[in-house]
Amino acid sequence: MARWQTRPLQAPEDPKSGVTHGRGIACVDYEGGNGYAALIADITVDPETGIVRPTRFVVAVDCGPISNPDGLRNQTEGGILQGMSRALVEEVTWDDRRITSTDWATYKSLHLDYEVPPIEMTFVAPEGVPALGAGETAITVVPAAIGNAIFAATGARLRELPFTPERVKAALRSRS
């Protein structure tokens, strides 16, 4: 479904824009067997601005028997969007005494006008197994898949969320 291909460790830059493209993968055995998900994230990274932009997600979810496919699709899409927000912008901040991100003005999340990339999904529904969790399986893999895609695109490994432009640019500088 994702048309996976072996790629070099670091993707070449687009000669016109300087933007690199990367693809990352992550999977989860949620809560020790309470659902499974695998996600592939395609992203672009602009090395000049540090902006990471997801361009496509492909996800497979196994939660056992599916009683409401539309509900599962909605839950999975919502989890990917929330995971994308956590991976790219959400961050709890604090000073030496307290948490300082206490409202919507100080705690950032994706804007409502954010251009959502295509999300393709497939559901694995084996017979003869119990129903498993589906509520949070997709959200858990998004940061890792995006982080792996950044590494594939740039050769820089980021290990702290969110992957802000400042952190991306610092990681790009430190790899030299």
The answer to whether 138 touches 80, Cβ cutoff 8 Å, is yes
The answer to whether 87 touches 27, Cβ cutoff 8 Å, is no
User: Half-sphere exposure of 26 toward its Cβ, with a 13 Å CA cutoff?
Assistant: 22
Per the residue annotation, which of 77, 90, 91, 136 is the catalytic one? 136
Question: By three-state DSSP, how is residue 134 classified?
Answer: coil
Which residue type occupies 121?
M
Altogether, the residues listed in the chain come to a count of 176
Supply 60's token pair.
């497979």
- Residue 136 a catalytic site member: yes
Known catalytic residues are 136
